[in-house]
Amino acid sequence: MRCEEVQEQLSALIDEQLNHGEREQVMLHLLHCETCFRQYEELRQFVEFCRQLESPEPRIDLWRELQPALAQIVAEQRLPLSQRLRRQWSRLVSQVCYGIILFLQVVTYQLTITLSRYIMEPERAAYGRPMRG
């Protein structure tokens, strides 16, 4: 096999798209040709890098955390529509409640700051700027 032929097949080799015979020929060439082997290594590393960017391997811990949730989702898909809607509705309601609580906390915080300004320094707060003199 000539170097050009081998180099044309390097990406197919890395993607495991060569049949057994082709694969053997290319590998044999790589064993003896440093130029092609270097190209193969560079391409392989590049492809590996791209794959890592595309889909990072899920960590085992993460998978353990996700699996029960996934199982629950799958189990829920099998429920009749009425039950599924009821569950989704109650989830929506609880999320809206969380939102309201969060909103109220922010409002209360703002109100506390404003009120404390009035209580500590009523005149300064009323005019909205520091007093002079």
Which residues of this protein are in contact with Zn ion, per CB under 5 A? 3, 33, 36
Q: How far is the CB of 67 from Zn ion (least distance, A)?
A: 47
Taking the CA of residue 18 as centre, how many other CA atoms within 13 Å lie in the half-sphere pointing to its CB?
16
d(CA 126, CA 87): 50
Torsional sign, CA 54, 57, 23, 38: positive
Closer by beta carbon to Zn ion, 3 or else 97: 3
Q: How far is the CB of 16 from Zn ion (least distance, A)?
A: 20
Closer by beta carbon to Zn ion, 25 or else 47: 25
d(CA 118, CA 112): 10
Q: How far is the CB of 13 from Zn ion (least distance, A)?
A: 13
Closer by beta carbon to Zn ion, 44 or else 117: 44
Closer by beta carbon to Zn ion, 34 or else 57: 34
Q: How far is the CB of 33 from Zn ion (least distance, A)?
A: 3
CB 44 within 8 A of CB 71: no
CB 30 within 8 A of CB 40: yes
Q: Exposed, middle or buried, 47 (CB in 10 Å: 0-12/13-18/19+)?
A: middle
